[in-house]
Structure 1
């Protein structure tokens, strides 16, 4: 605040009436208070405010005119204002008006000369409060609209992905795929992410390409056209293709549906018993994972997502199952080799590593299935942590159980795989024993094993035993 340099010389003997009129004109509300906080006089800057409050404030205590939340600030004003030589501090008080509403006022206060009185000059904040409330209401409206759009998009995504009918969204100008649902991805035999941006017609035989181009041209020009029969490359099944234009923002896209002419079960809706079976598998307490022939995940149920500590199936889809198995590069290769040779695996013991570093002892049973020309694998993953023998540290496998596991592999997988599996098992057990002897002092464990510390850290990470960084180690 900048005051007059010489107020006595500049203002002279300013009359009391002139000062009162000036204060009333410059403020919205001006109060004269005694030291006990009783209102001795009041002035209003406009008639509207005067009629809104009335004349009943004179003689009342200031604390009786404000809300309970503001009474502590009134006491603070009455305590501090008499000691101020300049009105440099502000207090916001919420007054109660006869209409029942609250009126926020911002006051500055100071004592009146040598008297025991206080003058409080206030600025009405109702206009600013109304503007702030309008801003808050507008923000809430935007948030409601945003969440409504998010919910609509979620419903669309759920319907688009859960329908058993093959559906694709195409760019009408280029004929390229913009979006594809899982049913269409399975039908075309290509991962959904790899289909985005590729020409739709490239997946059909030569006789179908001309029909598809004619169909898309007709939809672009007239918005409707007859359905056409098409055939995928290197397949004999015929599909009925329909297309319709849809609007998205300011662009037009094409929605294409593929349905088998002969009622092929790959895209036909599931009957009631099969639908119930699928729902039960999705809610099963054991983890269930469906993968491609190379181990990349196509689908996973909620139990597996909980084991891997994932929040949605999208985080797992397209990733290799090897990412979460206990021995990267070993377990999945053994499982797939066994599935290709025998078609099934039972009670394969390993661990599941979550994305947050925790490990869970599991048993995996798996089966191979042929869907058209594509081979896929199904894995049932059971949590067996409660079966771990007492005294076995968490995340570490007991020796007799590992030997039994290796014995079951004999005759079912090549000897080279069995030898590699047993070597890894022995190496891991030796590392675990060294860590137990040294109380998890890795520097000492490396000396016991005849390894450098760096080599030990590499092996710890390989077997999922690393739970601390090298900086956390205690040197001997």
Structure 2
């Protein structure tokens, strides 16, 4: 079999192709057919009706073909036409050129040039290369995208490796489905007693004593889901070291992965976590009432013990209210405690009365601490019910022992040497002086607050301070 089919065409008796069919064959065999002379003038242009994207090119007729070629393509067509004029072209040759039409439309064409019966006439059959060019463009874009993704992947992989090895904590990545170690940093491998390469791909459960794979992995996942107690204590099989795991579950590419931070038992962070849990339990279940407020004394949180003292049903009933609303002297008590805690970081004891939601009152002792942790600032108040102690002490509060021994001795010396009226007046002065000194001391020499605490005007307090010689004593500007 002759694959080139020359037998039919070389047979002299072969039926010639009629002119009416030749034009159809040429137009359908090529996307673009051009008849031009060796000088480059176009005599005829025919486009394939099956490729309408080329449009109508009848305006090319009787024009130089170079007018419709880009600058870099013109030398190619000049070389071919020159070869045909000089008779050096012996066989059809293919060239690729870019056509330019209307200055804004370019399209690539691959032409084959063919001789005709007239030595001055050339037939150019062209194949539209735009689909191939578009495909090549897409391939180039895909290749560039792949290379960009690859570079990004390498960048993230490098960052990930640097972070894993530079981290001060020990980390291990475990596949939840298989329970095998996906990756582990150097510190984690050191704690488990093997190299990172040896541990990668091994079963995570086998690195700890008395652990079953299914139960152990499920326990880690459950611990990760529990925000309150995200801790699992285990013993390393190789080093016999007690360690603590802090698991976190995340999903990547559809697969669940465990990120476990490993710490040896007894480290500072482990003790801190345990202390946090203990303090949380104390706050939740402690006997003493605990209240947290902001810098203005507005309640942020309180435990059940405080809710019981103020007869509140739930935390939402008091959250957002000022703590002063629950104190007998209101803002006076609150301001005294806040000012003292702000200056001295804490206030040890402050006696006052706590008012409940339904009008009940209790004698309480309060201590205040100024808190400043990161972006969180405020005060912590510990409230202790002293009503029972007050009942026990009440019978003795009116006895002379409640006063200072020196003051009582001065009063007793007046018996027999002064009338009872003068003795009562002296006793009253002693009690009044002691009350004023106590109020000034409790308010840290805040005389406005002391006056409000004693139920006096500010002017009356200054008069009494001057009367008992306490004005200069408590004046911070007066030298000692």
Kindly name which structure, 1 or 2, has the bigger radius of gyration based on alpha carbons: 2
Give the TM-score category using the shorter length: 0.3 to 0.5
